[in-house]
């Protein structure tokens, strides 16, 4: 169920209308709760100073006038409050319809552009070849182990976020192959692109290629949908030493690119089997 969305003026009008609607009830409550000097006996008033008597008489006169006027004020404020709320809701309804139409068009455009599922083994093999070229003296992860990592990540993403996102896994858009695309079901919900990497060894060059690749995917997604996604590199390290090196390279990258909005998740392979939900929910809203 999509969340309702208000533009600023509509939200203000609805809030103002509710406030105006509450005013007569607040006054009525205060009126019934406060005696306003009406219970003071005349003999006691006569014992007061002339100034005090004048103040009490003036207050009682004002209260008398207000008593005559209040029923009309009550009705007028109710009508005004309801009218303002109606205007605000009408404005919201028009705005929401435009947003819904835009969302439908975006969904249709995305569905039309998404190619059939990428052959996972073929895609993973390209990743492994990159690692083999970077470290020819060290065997890269096997295709099966890499696919298992991607499947675990995909399963966790679907489990945690399928209620808020349309989730596409292993799809092709244009020239790019996407591990995970998360399209928000509500216009208030940001889209996400997740790139999954499994490293036995890591280098600055490999990390740079991964970052450039996901940023290229993000740019293409923006051009296609006019929605700006948040990009997440989900990196799984085979051991603690590799994890520490990845984290050091990320630290260096962030230090030299403080305005970068690229998000990173780094965990060791054993931790993926019982992934802490907070690792994902802290990054993906």
pLDDT at 77: 81
229 — alpha (psi -120 to 50), left (phi > 0) or beta? beta
* Mean local confidence (pLDDT), 37-49: 64
- DSSP class of 175: T
pLDDT at 6: 45
Q: Are 216 and 176 in contact (CB under 8 A)?
A: yes
Quickly state the pLDDT bin for 120 (edges 50, 70, 90): low
Domain boundaries, the chain: 8-108, 116-281
Q: What is the pLDDT of residues 139-182, one digit of tens each?
A: 888 888 999 999 999 999 999 999 999 898 888 887 888 899 99
> What architecture (CATH level 2) is domain 116-281?
3-Layer(aba) Sandwich (3.40)
Burial track 183-214 (b if 16+ CB lie within 10 A, e otherwise)? bbbebebbbbbbbbbbbbbbeeebbeebbebb
71 — alpha (psi -120 to 50), left (phi > 0) or beta? alpha
Name which of 5-14, 87-96, 184-193, 230-239 the model is least confident about: 5-14
Could you give the CA distance from residue 169 to residue 117 in angstroms, rounded to a whole number? 8
Could you give the CA distance from residue 93 to residue 108 in angstroms, rounded to a whole number? 22
Round the average pLDDT of the chain to a whole number and report it.
80
Q: Which residues pair with 268 in a beta bridge?
A: 237
Residue 284's closest CA among 144, 184, 176, 138? Answer: 184
Enter the tokens of residue 81.
């409050």
Enter the tokens of residue 221.
């997604």
Which helix (DSSP H) or strand (DSSP E) does residue 45 occupy?
Answer: helix 42-46
CB contact set of 74 (below 8 Å; sequence gap of 6+): 24, 27, 28
Enter the tokens of residue 166.
């349309």
Is pTM beyond 0.85? Reply is no
Decide: helix, strand or coil at residue 3.
coil
Q: How many CB atoms lie within 10 A of CB 138?
A: 10
Q: Backbone phi, then psi, for 109, in 5-degree steps?
A: -65, -40
Enter the tokens of residue 87.
């205007």
* Mean local confidence (pLDDT), 48-53: 70
* Mean local confidence (pLDDT), 81-87: 84
Could you give the CA distance from residue 246 to residue 167 in angstroms, rounded to a whole number? 27
* Mean local confidence (pLDDT), 130-135: 86
Helices (H), 135-203: 143-161
Could you give the CA distance from residue 178 to residue 160 in angstroms, rounded to a whole number? 19
Which helix (DSSP H) or strand (DSSP E) does residue 127 occupy?
Answer: helix 120-134
């Amino acid at each position: 169920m999509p969340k309702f969305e208000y533009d600023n003026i509509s939200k203000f009008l609805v809030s103002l209308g509710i406030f105006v609607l509450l005013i007569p009830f607040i006054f009525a409550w205060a009126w019934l709760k406060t005696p306003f000097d009406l219970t003071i006996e005349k003999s006691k008033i006569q014992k007061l100073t002339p100034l005090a008597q004048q103040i009490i008489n003036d207050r009682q006169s004002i209260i008398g006038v207000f008593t005559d006027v209040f029923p009309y004020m009550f009705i007028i404020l109710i009508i005004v409050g309801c009218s303002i709320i109606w205007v605000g809701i009408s404005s919201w309804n028009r705005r929401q319809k435009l947003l819904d139409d835009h969302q439908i068009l975006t969904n249709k455009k995305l569905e039309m552009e998404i190619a059939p599922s990428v052959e996972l083994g073929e895609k993973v093999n390209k990743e492994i070849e990159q690692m083999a070229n970077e470290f020819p003296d060290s065997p890269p992860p096997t295709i099966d182990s890499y696919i298992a990592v991607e499947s675990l990540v995909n399963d966790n993403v679907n489990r945690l976020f399928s209620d808020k996102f349309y989730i596409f896994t292993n799809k092709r858009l244009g020239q790019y192959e996407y591990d995970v695309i998360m399209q928000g079901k509500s216009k208030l919900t940001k889209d996400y692109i997740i790139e999954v990497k499994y490293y036995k060894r890591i280098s600055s060059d490999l990390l740079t290629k991964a970052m450039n690749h996901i940023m290229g995917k993000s740019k293409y997604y923006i051009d296609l949908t006019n929605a700006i996604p948040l990009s997440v590199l989900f990196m799984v390290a085979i051991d603690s030493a590799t994890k520490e090196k990845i984290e050091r390279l990320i630290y260096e990258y962030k230090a030299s690119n403080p305005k970068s909005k690229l998000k990173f998740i780094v965990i060791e392979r054993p931790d993926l089997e019982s992934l802490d939900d907070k690792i994902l929910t802290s990054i993906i809203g």
